[in-house]
Amino acid sequence: MASITIRNLDPATKEALRLRAAANNRSMEEEARIIFGALAKPSPAGAPSVTETPAIATAQVGSGILVDKRILLIIGGGIAAYKCLDLIRRLRERGAHVRCVMTRAAEEFITPLSVGALTADTVFTDLFDRQDEHDVGHIRLARQADLIVVAPATADLMAKMAHGLANDLASTVLMAAKAPVLIAPAMNPAMWDHPATRRNRETLAGDGIGFVGPNAGEMAESGEAGYGRMAEPLEIAAAVEALLDNRPRPLAGKTVIVTSGPTHEPIDPVRYIANRSSGKQGHAIAAALAELGATVRLVSGPVTIADPVGVEMVRVESARDMHDAVHQLLPADAAIFAAAVADYRPATEAGDKIKKRDGGIEAVALTENPDILASVGTHDTARPRLVIGFAAETRDLVANAEAKLARKGADFVVANDVSHDSGIGGEGGVMGGDRNRITLVSKGVAERWPEMDKTEVAARIAALVAERLETVTV
């Protein structure tokens, strides 16, 4: 048996391994074992036509975009301030230099001491600090940053920004800033929905301020839920990377429709038929396509994950809504159907909530939903150049995907094994989990990809789209 000493790896490989291990909360040795394990796994018997594609050995935390970038993080006074401690870590492990300004209110939630320990730098809190302001330090802070991130962006900070107030260090720095600004709002759903905050949101978007989140979910206040949770540190780090990304954009000028998430098929006003799809894979594909410069229109069923950065969202509930939304968005250069669309819906939707009765209720009759993939894949006049479908299967993966390919007029079918023993994604399996193992099926070819994060699957699918749309057919 061969052994590899991590110490002896070349510096670039070692760094890539370190970053990847950090992202996965593993030791470098553990990460190396997982990479080699994935490469060495035997292919299942009975699938001779399937080729294996190696794992991306150079996967790392982020894409290297943040290396040596200077991020000024302004921490506002909200409960979510604690998440900034992790955000600092996430930005630094991607190679960024992070400096922090804390509002007076932020100090009620976390201490400058812990922030300073994580940034390994001075934490700035006071506009009238005699030491920092002898050379007008607030202007220096604003000008030395490649990007300013405000997290949590409180209702108060957003209002100040929208109205040009500059009455503390944070707001003064924001007024003096020439660098792009990204805000991660966090507040109670009622505050987020308040007409004043709505007006401020519009003003800030009009001023070119970038937004990440907020997400829907439970609030710190017991019993409160809705839009207002701050985006998770990894989502913010991804948004930061997207904003500072000036790599080539092979999909610039191309439009791609992506569907994602489950659909909800109403039984009555409060009940519906759904499935376990989380939308993670479809959303990740939309984000990866946007990173390559595509104009992405994401038609999403009901999900609880954050909107991907730089993507136009169209929210729908049912399969019929999704069908109509997709057709309204045609024409497009490519369409990727990652949503887990319900094949059937209740034939009738009860106008009132069906009451509980002794002895149960009669069967719920089902009727077929429109086939979105087939309707686009075989469209007479507006078929996109590239149509990719998804097939969630629990058995005969490749055979079922091949049949779907021909029947629905798709160029590729991404087949994923959602059987319980696929063992991917922890307890939730592929649906809901963070990892995926797919087989990419096109006419006569089935290419099995190793198990990887859904974001890696997404990056590969986006690269495939770029390659296909670049190819000129003569």
Q: Which residues are annotated as a binding site?
A: 343, 353, 370-373, 390, 404, 408
CA distances from 265 to 151, 216, 326, 458 (A): 37, 21, 17, 27
Binder to ligand FMN among 55, 60, 76, 254 (CB under 6 A)?
76
**Smallest distance from ligand FMN to CB 159, Å:** 8
- Reading the block at residue 353, the tokens are 């909530």
| Residues counted in the chain | 474
* Nearest distance, CB of residue 102 and ligand FMN, angstroms: 8
Residues taking part in catalysis: 275
Detail the residues annotated as belonging to a binding site for CTP. Answer: 343, 353, 370-373, 390, 404, 408
Rule CB under 6 A: is residue 106 a binding residue for ligand FMN? yes
**Rounded to whole angstroms, what are the CA distances from 341 to 86, 228, 297, 460?**
36, 28, 17, 23
Structure token digits, residue 352: 């009132």
* Residue facing ligand FMN at closest CB distance: 78
Rounded Cα–Cα distance for residues 141 and 135 (Å): 11
> Could you tell me which stretch among 76-84, 253-261, 353-361, 408-416 binds ligand FMN (CB under 6 A)?
76-84
Which of 155, 285, 334, 438 touches ligand FMN (CB under 6 A)? 155
* Site residue total, ligand FMN (CB under 6 A): 16
Measured from the CB atom, is 112 or 409 closer to ligand FMN?
112
Task: Return the number of the residue (186 or 251) whose C-beta is nearest ligand FMN.
Answer: 186
- Looking at beta carbons only, is 157 or 240 nearer to ligand FMN? 157
The residue range among 86-94, 99-107, 129-137, 138-146 that interacts with ligand FMN, by the rule CB under 6 A, is: 99-107
The minimum distance between CB 127 and ligand FMN, in angstroms, equals 12
What single-letter DSSP state applies at residue 340?
B
Least Å from the CB of residue 142 to ligand FMN? 17
216 burial (CB, 10 Å; 0-12 / 13-18 / 19+) is: middle
Q: Does 77 bind ligand FMN (CB under 6 A)?
A: yes
- CA atoms of 330 and 321, how far apart (whole Å): 15
Site for ligand FMN in 161-200 (CB under 6 A): 186-187, 191
| 79 counts as binding ligand FMN under rule CB under 6 A | yes
- DSSP conformation letters of 237-251: HHHHHHHH--S--TT
Among 119, 125, 154, 295, binds ligand FMN (CB under 6 A): 154
CB 304 to ligand FMN: min, Å: 19
Q: How far apart are CA 265 and CA 318, in angstroms?
A: 5
Residue with token string 């940034």: 119
Residue number, 105 or 374, with CB nearest to ligand FMN: 105
Cα–Cα distance, 421 to 51 (Å, whole number): 22
Considering only 78, 213, 262, 384, the residue that binds ligand FMN (CB under 6 A) is: 78
**CA gap 195, 189 in Å, rounded:** 12
Six token digits for residue 190: 């009622």
- At 405, which helix (H) or strand (E)? helix 397-408
Torsion of CA 416, 421, 426, 427, to 10 degrees: 110
Residues in contact with ligand FMN by the rule CB under 6 A? 76-80, 103, 105-106, 152, 154-157, 186-187, 191
